[in-house]
Structures are given as C-alpha cells and as structure tokens.
Chains A and B, each alone.
Chain A
Amino acid sequence: MNSDPTRLDSLWSPNRKASKRSESIVRFIFGAFALVSVATTIGIVGTLIFETFEFFQEVPFWNFLTDTQWTPLFKSAKFGIFVLISATMLTSTIAVTVALPLGLFAAICLSEYATPKTRQIIKPLLEVLAGIPSVVFGYFALLFVTPLLQNIVPGLQGFNALSAGLVLGVSITPLIASLSEDAIYAVPRSLRDGSYALGATKRETIISVVLPAALSGIVSSVILAVSRAIGETMIVTLAAGQNPTLGLNPFVPIMTMTAFIVQVSLGDTPAGSLAFKTIFAVGMTLFLITLVLNVFSFWFVRRFREKYD
C-alpha cells in the first residue's frame, strides 16, 4: 500500500469502506449486547408468568388470596399467600421504622452540619456498611442481636421478626442516607439564604425549607429502601425463621416470601412438582410488589420534583 511513494493513491488511502463495515459490525454486536437486558426482563417475566399459570391450574386463585394457612409441603396443602406477605410486611415495617429516622437524620447531618472533611470520612464508611453482604448481616442478627435482645425482651424466641427487622433496617439505612443526602444537597443555597434572611435558625430552615424542597427525593429513597427490604433474603431467612404463621407478633418465628423460596430451594424439589411451581408463584407476588414500589418511586420523583435553576 505505501511501498511506492510515486503513486498518488498510495499516499492516502483511508479505506472508508472497511472502516464503515467495521463500524456497522460493532454497532450491531453492541446493540445485541444492549438487548441482553431486554431479554433478561422477558426471561424473568416469562418464567414467572409461565410457572405461576401452571400453579393456578392446581391451586384456585381465590384460595391463594384468602387461605389463612401456608402449608404447601404438607399433605393437606394450604396456600394462603397472606401468611407470607404479613411476615414480609412485619420485617419491612420494623426495618423502615429503624432506617427512616436513622438514614434521614444521617443525610441531614452529612449535607447540612458536617464539614467537607468529616463528610469525606463518613461517606465511605457508610458505603462500607452498604457493601456488607446480607449473609453477614444475617449472622449478626441471629447470633449477636437476638441473644442481646433476649436479655431485654423476655419470651423472645431464637428466631424472631424483631431482630431480623432491626438488622434489616440497619442494612437499608445507607441507601436512605445516601439517596436522601443527594436530594437535600441539591436544594439550592439561595433558598437557605432566603430563610436565614427572614430570621429563621438553621434547624428551622432545614425543617421548613430544605426538607420540603427535597421531599420528592427523600420519599423516593424511602420507597426504594422498602422495596429492597421486601426483597431481602438472607437476613430474614437466617434470623426470622422458617415458620409460616399469620399475624404480626414480632417475637415469634415467621416466614417471609423470600425465606420460603430459600427453604424449598434447599430441599430436593423436582421440576414440575407443585412445590416447584409454588416458589414461582411466590416469586411472582414478590416481583409484582417490588415492581409497583419501584415504578411508584420513579413516578413520584418525576411528578413532585421541585426544579431550581
């Protein structure tokens, strides 16, 4: 190509054709990679719908919703999903009760009170807390928090919703803290200055000006955290037990939706059996609940975001 300098075309041969061809090949391959995420969604939804449909061929939908017992592995099987949902609600409610004040106050502190230097130290530490694997939190809940609480709460059983919920709350606190802090930090300085000029103190400014302005971000962070708590598996499986009981007593063993899926998966369940289909029906319920929460959270931010320029 460039061996003979006397020929004009050898001096400059951009070969547009080849580069355009490689361009379209790359574009095609990377486009296919991007479609993998779509395929994942289709796979998840398809799998869940297919097996859930099979499940409802054997179990009437009405019983699924209204039974007050969950005994799918017994001979007289009962499939009252609300037994599992109530357990999930219980642990998630305890978790949010812990995580909302803890995370929100931490966010306020990081954004409004902490100096840049302290912020630089604290934020990575909170990220460490966020990065702790859930099985480690499960260990902590079962073998540290429960024995500790048993000294305070008489009659607390070895497996219980209380310590699972508390530790679950700790595990979602960094999520609320970091997303809320983003929202609070984004509130423009001029709003704060305006409030100070009217004679408000720092706390009054935060509570009546900054927090309302950041409300959409805070609410959406809490909803995302709830959704995370509902889908969390290892903490509730290890610490809350495997005992499906309907009711909201936090001191006794319960069984969440995720814990049920783990229980069945640990045993040897042949494909096509009713137990196998059951975990997909439970998975579908879980998927729908978290999907609704996630979509609601996105919608909430878009609908109620205060824009400042």
Chain B
Amino acid sequence: MNTPNTSDSNTPDGKVNLFQADMASRYRTDGIFQAITWTSIVIALLILAVLIIDVLMDGLPFINWNFLSNFPSRKPEQAGLLSALAGTIWVMVTVAVIAFPLGVGAGIFLEEFAEDNWFARAIEININNLAGVPSIIYGLLGLQVFVRLLGPNGWLFELTGIDITGGRSILTGALTLALLVLPIIIVSTRESLRAVPDSLRLAGFALGATRWQVVHNQILPIAIPGILTGTILALSRAIGETAPLITIGALTFISFLPENLQSPFTVLPIQIYNWVSRPQKDFHDLAAGGIIVLLVVLLVMNSTAVLLRNKLQKRF
C-alpha cells in the first residue's frame, strides 16, 4: 500500500505523487471510529439495563401488600415502608405547594416584568450559580436556618416564642428541597414563557390590557403545560434527594405516620439508604424493594410530564 511507485500514483508527467489518498484504510478507521461511538452508547444503556434487572431480581420477591403497609422493623420479614411512603407524599405535596408559586412567580417576574438592568442580570447569574451548588450544601443551609434559627429553641423562638418549623420536621425538609428545586422551576417557567410569541403580548397591549392582564389571561394559559412539565421534573429530582434530608437530620427509624407539618419524618430514599447500609443480606433485598417503589413513582411522574408536554403544548 505504501509503495509510492504504483501506477495510479504517478502523475502524467512522470513525477511520483507523494500524496496517497489511501481511501480503503481511512474508511476502515472510519468504520472502527463509528463502532466505538456506538459501543459507548450501548455500554451506557447496558449498565442502565443491568442496574434495573439487578434491582428487580433482588427486590421483586419482597413487593407485596405487607411491604407497602408495614412500618420499618428490625426483623426483615416484617419490615415495610409505610412511614417512608407517607413521608415522601407529605414532603412532596409541601414542596409543590411552596416551590410552585415561588418559582412560577419569580419566573414571570424575570421574564415579563423585569427590565434588562443590572438587578435582573444579577438574579439570573445567581440562579445559574444556585443550580450548580451541591445538594448537600442545601442540607447545611436547612440545618442552620430551618432547624436551628426557626425551630424550637431557636433564635426566633427565644425572641417571640414562635416555633415555625418544629425542628427536624416535614416542613424543614420541604423548605430545604423547595429551595433546591426552585432554580429548575424558574428556568423552565422562563423557557415556557419565552416560547410564547411576542405578537400575542403586543395584541393584548394594543387592546389596552395591562402587563399583568396580558400575562394572566393570554400568556400563562399557553405556557402552563411547559411550566407544569418543568415542575414535575423538578419534583422528581426532589423525590430522589437523600443527602440534604440526612443533613437536616431526618430520622431513619420512624414507626408512626406524620400528623402535621411539624412531625418528624422519613422518606423513601432515606429508608433505602438505611437498609443498604445494614450488613444483613435480607435488608439489602428490602432496599431493592424500596428502590423499585421509588423508581415506579419516578416513572409515573416522568411519563405524566412527557404526556403533558406532548398533548397540551401548542406550537406557533
């Protein structure tokens, strides 16, 4: 191949052409390269498949009614995740109630009301940076502010006698997670609002509507599927978070149901962590069962989000 004196590499005037197109070997390398890129995708998807199959094989035998309706127990055969499931539902509803209005309101303000000045830009940079802060740092924030300052024996309690959060409670956990997912909701709200064409706003202004009337009556109804999709995705991020809740001191052994926002609580990922970190094999399989429940909840949430996006979203 590399001998330069083959007949096709000689130019008409008899000089040796040093340039070798050598297409065959270049195409061969191309083929190898393409195979490598496909392999990397196959590897990633294979790992996903192995992970899910491993969890299903370990955990499926444990999924039954008792598992869903029993409290955690020191005996693996009696243990269930009722309190974790209840805690997860409590926390998620509270996170949604706190984070949805805050995030959507902030998104509307930044996209529709704020002028393009240093203040708006500072908030925008700030939100970008917040999205990159590790979740465990939010746990430290929650520990200091919601558990210590606003909880029992805290600074506010000593001043006024009011205990807002009740210490290491559902409300503390929900506030912490709400702050964690707020940037996601704000960003998705802004993107949904930006996707609504300006002509609709201008038409509204031309009819004499104020900015808020335009946003409220014309823009929001169109943007709401996108906003809801973003919110569900943000909640599905919050539902799997473990580290910040451990940091604020969510208990791992709870054998009662939460009664109000100030109750101590546990959630699915913490219960899973608790079971995984025990040495006995039986608890590991229970953890796999818990993971299946968690993944099913996530699957339901994410498919709802995708359905919302596909069915309700208008295109212009």
Contacts and interface: CB of A to CB of B under 8 A. Distances in A.
Contacts of A291: 129, 132-133
A79 to B, nearest CB: 17
Contacts of B38: 109, 113
A279 B140 contact: yes
A135 B105 contact: no
A304 interface: no
B309 to A, nearest CB: 12
Interface string B129-173: 110111111111101110010000000000000000000000000
Given A14-B208, A19-B213, A286 B37 contact: no
Contacts of B248: 265
B78 interface: no
A126 interface: yes
- Say whether chain B's binding surface is mostly helix, strand, loop, or mixed: helix
A224 B126 CA distance: 16
For the side of the interface on B, what is the size category? 35 or more
Interface stretch (A36-44, A63-71, A243-251): A36-44
Given A33-B106, A51-B144, A133-B298, A26 B212 contact: yes
Given A27-B109, A298-B128, A233 B272 contact: no
Nearest to A137: B51
Contacts of A137: 51
A43 to B, nearest CB: 5
For the side of the interface on A, what is the size category? 35 or more
Interface in A202-225: 202-204, 206, 224
Interface string B20-34: 010100110110011
A183 interface: no
Given A44-B133, A106-B44, A201 B30 contact: yes
B243 A262 contact: yes
Given A132-B51, A234-B243, 7 more contacts: A19-B212, A20-B210, A36-B102, A125-B48, A139-B288, A227-B132, A280-B140
